[in-house]
Amino acid sequence: MKKILYIILIITIFILGKQTKTYAQCNNKLVTICSGGLTKNATYLKELKVRLQAKQSGKKAPIARYALMLSKGTHYRLSICNAKEFSGKAIIQLYDNNNRLLGSSYNPSTKKHYSAFDFICNKSAVYKVLVSFEDGKEGCAVGILSMIKN
């Protein structure tokens, strides 16, 4: 009898533990936190929510892709925020329609992460935004596109 009680107790703790652990921050709270970090001169335009699994062995690291129309003469900011409960550090990258990398929140040569980068757009077109996690780790992040008033 004691054994059965012990097993039930372990299973209950496991189930409830899983519940409380699940995405304490990986939800709309993260969007609120991330948008709250926008500076006074920034106007929120769009949020990009990303939740990716860890890279599987022999496969490419998962990447979230978005297409955004950006307008000439506009100063944009791409910010990225990570959910604390995951070890994966998000990288947000901007590509043009010729697949040229224009900007990234991560510099691989210095291994430095930036919370945001700005893009002064001079060509109205559809751009690609890619979000991935460093070393293909599991992660949850929110990217925010905002417009900067100069």
Partner 1 sequence: MIKYLVSLLLIISVIACNNEQNQQSDDGFGSGDDFTVPDSILNQEEAPLEVSEDAMDDIIENVSSPVEMASLLKDEGVKFNYKLLSPTDNADNYNSNFKQALNLGILGADLGYLNMYNKTTSVIDYITAIKSLSDNLMIGQFFDFATLKRLATNSENIDSLMYISVSSFDKMDSYLRENNRSNISTLLVTGVWVEGLYLATQVAKDTKIDKINERIGEQKMALNDILIIVDNYKSDKNFYKLSESLTKLKDAFKNVKITYEAGESEMKEVNGVLTIVQNDKSIVTITDEDLAKIIETTKEVRNEIIRL
> What residues make contact with partner 1 under the rule CB under 8 A?
1, 4-5, 8, 11-12, 15-16, 18-19, 22-23, 26-28, 31, 35, 38, 40, 43-47, 49, 51, 66-74, 77, 94, 96, 102-103, 114, 116-126, 140, 147, 149
Kindly tell me which of 40 and 60 has the beta carbon lying closer to partner 1.
40
Instruction: Tell me how far, at minimum, the Cβ of 58 lies from partner 1, in Å.
Output: 25
Instruction: Tell me how far, at minimum, the Cβ of 29 lies from partner 1, in Å.
Output: 8
**C-alpha torsion sign, points 65, 67, 68, 72:** positive
> Please, what's the b/e burial string for 12-50 (b: 16 or more CB within 10 A of its CB; e: otherwise)?
eeeeeeeeeeeeeebeeebbeebbeebeeebeeeebbbb
Kindly tell me which of 24 and 57 has the beta carbon lying closer to partner 1.
24
Kindly tell me which of 1 and 57 has the beta carbon lying closer to partner 1.
1
For the chain, the distance separating the N- and C-terminal CA atoms, rounded to the nearest angstrom, is: 72
Instruction: Tell me how far, at minimum, the Cβ of 103 lies from partner 1, in Å.
Output: 4
* Token reading at 108: 């691989």
> Please, what's the b/e burial string for 62-72 (b: 16 or more CB within 10 A of its CB; e: otherwise)?
bebeeebebee
Kindly tell me which of 37 and 56 has the beta carbon lying closer to partner 1.
37
